[in-house]
Chains A and B, each alone.
Chain A
Amino acid sequence: EAQVTQNPRYLITVTGKKLTVTCSQNMNHEYMSWYRQDPGLGLRQIYYSMNVEVTDKGDVPEGYKVSRKEKRNFPLILESPSPNQTSLYFCASRAGGGDTQYFGPGTRLTVL
């Protein structure tokens, strides 16, 4: 089954404790992105990747890191989480620029 998976689905952590949210897709898609969703703000892009070892900043990259060492995986790293990073995070992938984007199930992160 073609899908995008994320783990964990829910995470409660404390300020400053490094964490990683994993994302994996099995569709051999070139493009992957991370979004955060906050009430009233829609989906805002954090980082995106066009291929292995090619990543770039989206609209809200501060406080986040990503890596793309393998085509299927695109982890999101919060080196020192802060309460303003409490949000719902979605990973997404698509084959090309004008192709359907598929979202993962989401990760609800709470930073205390």
Chain B
Amino acid sequence: GENVEQHPSTLSVQEGDSAVIKCTYSDSASNYFPWYKQELGKRPQLIIDIRSNVGEKKDQRIAVTLNKTAKHFSLHITETQPEDSAVYFCAAAGNTGFQKLVFGTGTRLLVSP
């Protein structure tokens, strides 16, 4: 089955810096890769996702890149702000029928003013 590894487990940056979180997956059949943000005491919420037919997707200050050959994908946050502080989870799944969404173990991002 699918296995997703996520690094780093914690990441501290200064406000305005960029942050990068990386994930690798094991199942080459996976083709849907969402990223979730979980603020303290709240539910995970989707912030961006990418499908295997594209290599990069951007939404304002966040972007995700996918390298299917190497089986890794990354979340990039530019111009970080204190409100970006949260735990971020990557996940991987197929998109035909029900494919289990397998999550990474999370990255705690702390943005200091």
A interface, CB within 8 angstroms of B = 31, 33, 35, 40-45, 48, 50, 58, 90, 96-98, 100-106
Is B103 in contact with chain A by the CB < 8 A criterion?
yes
A41 surroundings in chain B (CB, below 8 A): 105
Instruction: Find the B residue at minimum CB distance from A94.
Output: B101
Set B6, B44, B99: member contacting A103, Cβ < 8 A = B44
B-side interface mostly: loop
A101 surroundings in chain B (CB, below 8 A): 34, 46, 101
Minimum Cβ distance to chain B for residue A29 (Å): 12
Is B96 in contact with chain A by the CB < 8 A criterion?
yes
Is B21 in contact with chain A by the CB < 8 A criterion?
no
Is B93 in contact with chain A by the CB < 8 A criterion?
yes
Set A96, A102, A104: member contacting B95, Cβ < 8 A = A96
- Is there an interface contact between B43 and A104, defined as CB atoms closer than 8 Å? yes
Set A97, A103, A104: member contacting B32, Cβ < 8 A = A97
Supposing A97-B95, A98-B32, A98-B51 touch, asked if A58 and B89 sit within 8 A by C-beta, the answer is no
A97 surroundings in chain B (CB, below 8 A): 32, 93-99
A35 surroundings in chain B (CB, below 8 A): 103
- Is there an interface contact between A43 and B44, defined as CB atoms closer than 8 Å? yes
Set B94, B100, B105: member contacting A42, Cβ < 8 A = B105
- Is there an interface contact between B93 and A43, defined as CB atoms closer than 8 Å? no
Given A43-B44, A97-B96, 16 further pairs, Cβ under 8 A: A33-B101, A58-B100, A90-B44, A97-B95, A97-B98, A98-B95, A98-B96, A100-B34, A100-B46, A101-B34, A101-B101, A102-B46, A103-B43, A103-B44, A106-B42, A106-B43
Q: Given the complex of chains A and B, what is the CA–CA distance between A105 and B103 in angstroms?
A: 18
Supposing A90-B44, A104-B43 touch, asked if A45 and B100 sit within 8 A by C-beta, the answer is yes
Supposing A97-B32, A100-B46, A101-B46 touch, asked if A48 and B98 sit within 8 A by C-beta, the answer is yes
